Chain A
Amino acid sequence: EAGVTQSPTHLIKTRGQQATLRCSPISGHTSVYWYQQALGLGLQFLLWYDEGEERNRGNFPPRFSGRQFPNYSSELNVNALELEDSALYLCASSLVGLAGGRSYNEQFFGPGTRLTVL
């Protein structure tokens, strides 16, 4: 079974540009989560999508946005890039989002996209 995939592996942008990061969840998973891992700051929750809708977002400015497509893949968009946006962006997926029913809600992570803003 294929795991969570992310593209591109690396992305280099200049300040003020826009970046688009992509994530494909494990087949059958409906929830997708985005996390930012900046140097020295640890892993911070960014966004959670389930069944095509944004369910929760972390403490990030509105220029961080995204969407989830009908096939449950997801995009993270970062507008007006700033130097401090340089980080490893990790995507995770899980089987259950809002609905209960299943006991286990384990999140499985992709390899990440390394975004460098110059």
Chain B
Amino acid sequence: KQEVTQIPAALSVPEGENLVLNCSFTDSAIYNLQWFRQDPGKGLTSLLLIQSSQREQTSGRLNASLDKSSGRSTLYIAASQPGDSATYLCAVRPPDTGTASKLTFGTGTRLQVTL
């Protein structure tokens, strides 16, 4: 059974700092990995998706890497801003066998960027 863990559970940084969020998963047989952000009481916003054959994806100040063999992914946020404050979730999808299209989510990292 796939288990996804995110460390740290919570993080507070001053504005302008670069930071790294970690995601680890127990079963390396994944189809892809997605990073999301969730604002309090809201739905999920997809940030980046990395296919199992890829090593990293970039979007603006965000960079996500994937090391499938070691079961790890990191989300790097450059020059953090107060608007980045949210909970960040990673989710893995198993190989597309036709019956297992669900995402398994990590526990999330609650990020607060202070002025």
Task: Enumerate A63-118 residues with CB–CB distance to B below 8 Å.
Answer: 88, 90, 92, 94, 97-98, 100, 103-112, 114
Residues of A within 8 A of B32 (CB): 104-106
Residues of A within 8 A of B101 (CB): 31, 33, 48, 50, 55-56, 94, 97-98, 105
Q: How far is the CB of B95 from chain A (nearest CB, A)?
A: 11
Task: Enumerate B57-73 residues with CB–CB distance to A below 8 Å.
Answer: none
Decide: A100 and B34 in contact? CB cutoff 8 A.
no
* Residue A62 interfacial (CB < 8 Å): no
Residues of B within 8 A of A56 (CB): 99-102
The tally of residues in A whose CB lies under 8 Å from a CB in B reads 31
Q: Take A45-B104, A48-B101 as given contacts and tell me if A106 and B34 are in contact as well, using a CB distance cutoff of 8 Å.
A: yes
Q: Which of B32, B46, B51, B102 is the most central at the interface, judged by chain A CB atoms within 10 Å of its CB?
A: B102
Q: Which of A43, A100, A109, A112 contacts B96 (CB 8 A)?
A: A100
Q: Which of A31, A50, A94, A109 contacts B43 (CB 8 A)?
A: A109
Using a CB–CB cutoff of 8 Å, the interface residues on chain A facing chain B are: 4, 6, 31, 33, 35, 42-43, 45, 48, 50, 55-56, 58, 88, 90, 92, 94, 97-98, 100, 103-112, 114
